[in-house]
Amino acid sequence: MNQAYEVSHLLAGAMLVTSFALLYQERIAAVLNAFAAQSITLALAVAWAAWSQDRPDLFITALIALVLKGIVIPVALHRTVQRLGIHREVEKVVGVGIALVVGLALTGLAQALVLKVAHATASHAREELALALAIILLGFLMMILRRNAVTQVVGFMSMENGLILAATGARGMPLVVEVSVAFSVLITLFVFAVFVFRIRERFDTIDIEALDRMRGDRR
């Protein structure tokens, strides 16, 4: 039993590390690689949970995370970035240093909050939940601190990774939910893809700044 906890902790911790890696990358290609690494780690974590909790249905979730978010989406986004000719730097709102400090603070907050509140829950589920919340908050932070549409998409999907980790950490949560999460990611990607192309079509850029000039009320 203890070994099962250790491994799932290790994997959840590794995901948190990749969340930080997402925050400090300078190039979009590197951001996409870090995201792929996070998704593959998620797939491992879910697969481990499936094996150790004896819940074979979770293997489906792991497979979806591996194939879709670990391979298909990063490859597709790499291609998009190349075709649009924006494989340069990540446009940031604040510097890497501040982003990392805020990220650390959020991680601390997540740990303090969950460990304090969920004292009655099994220790394993509790710590996994704390790590998952930290990953969600870091994804949130990334969406706020990055100006580019592609990096915002990645920030959002990183949030989704955290959610799936939280859902698998909650023992016995019905499959309905995991399938729906995976399903939603699919739709999400579809919608995002449409927007990325449309934004390109209309503005010749995928910088969100360009959108801010279009504030509807000042027409």
Measured from the Cβ of residue 39, the count of other Cβ atoms closer than 10 Å reads: 27
Q: How many residues does the chain have?
A: 219
SS3 assignment for 153-206? HHHHHHHHHHHHHHHHHCCCCCHHHHHHHHHHHHHHHHHHHHHHHHHHHHHCCC
Nearest to 62 by CA among 181, 153, 159: 181
The single-letter DSSP state of residue 91 is P
| Choice between 3 and 116, CB closer to other proteins | 116
Measured from the Cβ of residue 40, the count of other Cβ atoms closer than 10 Å reads: 19
Phi, psi at 27, each rounded to 5°: -115, 145
Contact 121, 86 (CB under 8 A): no
| Choice between 60 and 208, CB closer to other proteins | 208
Residue 183: CB minimum distance to other proteins, A: 8
| Choice between 32 and 129, CB closer to other proteins | 129
Q: Does 128 interact with other proteins (rule: CB under 8 A)?
A: no
Q: Does 1 interact with other proteins (rule: CB under 8 A)?
A: no
| Choice between 78 and 200, CB closer to other proteins | 200
Residue 190: CB minimum distance to other proteins, A: 9
Show contacts with other proteins in window 94-123 (CB under 8 A): 113-114, 116-121
| Choice between 3 and 219, CB closer to other proteins | 219
Nearest to 99 by CA among 130, 135, 142, 134: 142
Show contacts with other proteins in window 136-175 (CB under 8 A): 136, 139-140, 143, 149, 152, 156, 159-160, 163, 166-167, 170-174
Contact residues toward other proteins (CB under 8 A) are 113-114, 116-121, 125, 129, 133, 136, 139-140, 143, 149, 152, 156, 159-160, 163, 166-167, 170-174, 176-177, 180-181, 183-184, 187-188, 191-192, 194-195, 198-199, 202-203, 208, 211-212, 214-217, 219
